[in-house]
Amino acid sequence: MSALKRALSLIAPDELVALTRELVRIPSVVRPGDPNANEAAVAAHVEAWMRAHGLTVELQSVAPGRPNVLGILGEPQGDGRTLLLEGHTDVVTEGDPAAWTHPPFGADLVDGKIYGRGAADMKSGLAAAMVATAAIARSEAPLAGRLVVGALVDEEGDMIGVKHLCTTPIGRSLSAAIICEPEQNELCLEQRGVVWARVTARGRMAHGAMPETGANPIRALAALVADAPRLERRLRSLCARSRYLKPPTVTPTVIAAPVAGVPQSNVIPATAQATLDVRLTPGPDAAAVAKELDDACRRAADASPGVTIEWAPVNGFRIATKVDRDEPLVRAMVRAVRQATGRPARWGGVPGSTDGTILRMELGIPIVTCGPGHRLIPHQVDEHVEVAELVDAARIYVAAALAYLTA
Ligand SMILES: [Zn+2]
């Protein structure tokens, strides 16, 4: 039997379904201020599972109660390849549980689907990566390199888990990564980027009855928001068109005035703030995008005498990413999809940014996003994953890891 066939035969679908359900049943919504609402419990479960399945475990303490858990198989050798199968342990809020048909942390298994918060995003992808790595370990297939399965914290927040990973020896040793996010098992070589531009307008406080004695920052912000479609058109002309990504968008999401102090109907506030959610496709670098935002702020300020406008990115820039189809990882995955599913690879694109964005930006390594679950289901009520897709994902990861690490 070939190494691949043997490793594939060691994926037990029942075990994969059970692990996914166990992970979903451990709530891991992060609630700042609540020391018990973090990834600690699910990370402990992941760690115990990895140890029980023969993986070497590295724990990285990112923040109190928030460890990255890495399961490691093999040693770097030959050309030094280290492949990461990447997942995250945090999930977004379940919202109102009464809105769910299936309890958000019940992991109900109905008609071939597992329901719950994180079922798609992304405890299923993480479970598939863990089971795939364990199957390769049990198969004793020789690896020309090292396979790492990573369960990172805080993907849904500031991405402190992956940022921490990038500063560690094992992070710096990575040569490629598969991001196991829900993309219907399509191979996504492109991810949209994002910058949250927090814009602050500063004017002069005055009485609402005598606006001529002040400088109203709200008018300036209104001008900027009204000008957002123009900024969007500019970015669309700068960014590359993509078959797999929606074009850039500029969306005002937060607006506040006054920024501090008590709002009063007869007081023109000194400051006003807005956030623009700017989504990008590959092309311009951060400086080129920043220049467009600078220009938009300047236009709005020019139209508002006495008001200054500045902006700053919240959580830095996450530029759009793209990798080439000629990358060894991509070629390995194309082959893997056919070997694992009997079907040709389907291509897709990631609508938002992921931990992969940081790996690509910080380490420059190729990433491919591919995992089980419908692309649009994350963060919705009755989130679910199809078992058939989950099993396919584990098979694809096995075949991809073997192809990439025995090439
Ligand atoms: Zn996710």
- How far does residue 93's CA lie from ligand 1's centre (Å)? 13
Asked whether 125 and 397 are in contact (CB, 8 A), the reply is: no
Asked whether 213 and 207 are in contact (CB, 8 A), the reply is: yes
- How far does residue 338's CA lie from ligand 1's centre (Å)? 25
385: left (phi over 0), alpha (psi -120 to 50) or beta: beta
Asked whether 383 and 377 are in contact (CB, 8 A), the reply is: yes
Asked whether 146 and 85 are in contact (CB, 8 A), the reply is: no
- How far does residue 113's CA lie from ligand 1's centre (Å)? 18
- How far does residue 211's CA lie from ligand 1's centre (Å)? 48
- How far does residue 304's CA lie from ligand 1's centre (Å)? 41
User: Which residues, in sequence order, are CB contacts of 147 under 8 Å at separation 6+?
Assistant: 72, 73, 74, 82, 83, 85, 133, 136, 401, 405
The number of beta carbons lying within 10 Å of the beta carbon of residue 45 is 19
- How far does residue 91's CA lie from ligand 1's centre (Å)? 8
- How far does residue 29's CA lie from ligand 1's centre (Å)? 12
Asked whether 123 and 3 are in contact (CB, 8 A), the reply is: no
Residue found under tokens 């977004």? 92
- How far does residue 118's CA lie from ligand 1's centre (Å)? 8
- How far does residue 126's CA lie from ligand 1's centre (Å)? 10
**Can you say how many angstroms the Cα of residue 129 is from the centroid of all Cα atoms in its chain?**
16
- How far does residue 242's CA lie from ligand 1's centre (Å)? 22
- How far does residue 155's CA lie from ligand 1's centre (Å)? 7
| Interval 95-109: pLDDT, tens | 999 999 999 999 999
- How far does residue 60's CA lie from ligand 1's centre (Å)? 20
- How far does residue 212's CA lie from ligand 1's centre (Å)? 50
- How far does residue 88's CA lie from ligand 1's centre (Å)? 7
Q: What integer pLDDT is reported at residue 75 of this predicted model?
A: 86
- How far does residue 148's CA lie from ligand 1's centre (Å)? 18
Q: What integer pLDDT is reported at residue 9 of this predicted model?
A: 97
Coil/strand/helix, residue 245: coil
- How far does residue 184's CA lie from ligand 1's centre (Å)? 13
- How far does residue 341's CA lie from ligand 1's centre (Å)? 24
| Interval 318-364: pLDDT, tens | 999 999 999 999 999 999 999 999 999 999 999 999 999 999 999 99
- How far does residue 243's CA lie from ligand 1's centre (Å)? 22
Asked whether 145 and 80 are in contact (CB, 8 A), the reply is: yes
Asked whether 234 and 167 are in contact (CB, 8 A), the reply is: no
110 is written with which tokens?
A: 């109905």
- How far does residue 156's CA lie from ligand 1's centre (Å)? 7
Coil/strand/helix, residue 255: strand
Q: Which residues of the chain have pLDDT under 70?
A: 78-79, 407
What is the CB-side half-sphere exposure of residue 67 using CA atoms within 13 A? 16
How much is the pTM?
Answer: 0.93
- How far does residue 122's CA lie from ligand 1's centre (Å)? 5
- How far does residue 368's CA lie from ligand 1's centre (Å)? 14
- How far does residue 191's CA lie from ligand 1's centre (Å)? 13
- How far does residue 181's CA lie from ligand 1's centre (Å)? 5
Residue found under tokens 């289901």? 377
Q: Using CB atoms within 10 Å of the CB of residue 188, give its burial: 0 to 12 exposed, 13 to 18 middle, 19+ buried.
A: buried
Q: What integer pLDDT is reported at residue 315 of this predicted model?
A: 87
- How far does residue 383's CA lie from ligand 1's centre (Å)? 12
Distances (CA, A) of 184 to 22, 120, 180: 22, 10, 10
Residue found under tokens 């236009």? 299
- How far does residue 386's CA lie from ligand 1's centre (Å)? 16
Q: What integer pLDDT is reported at residue 35 of this predicted model?
A: 87
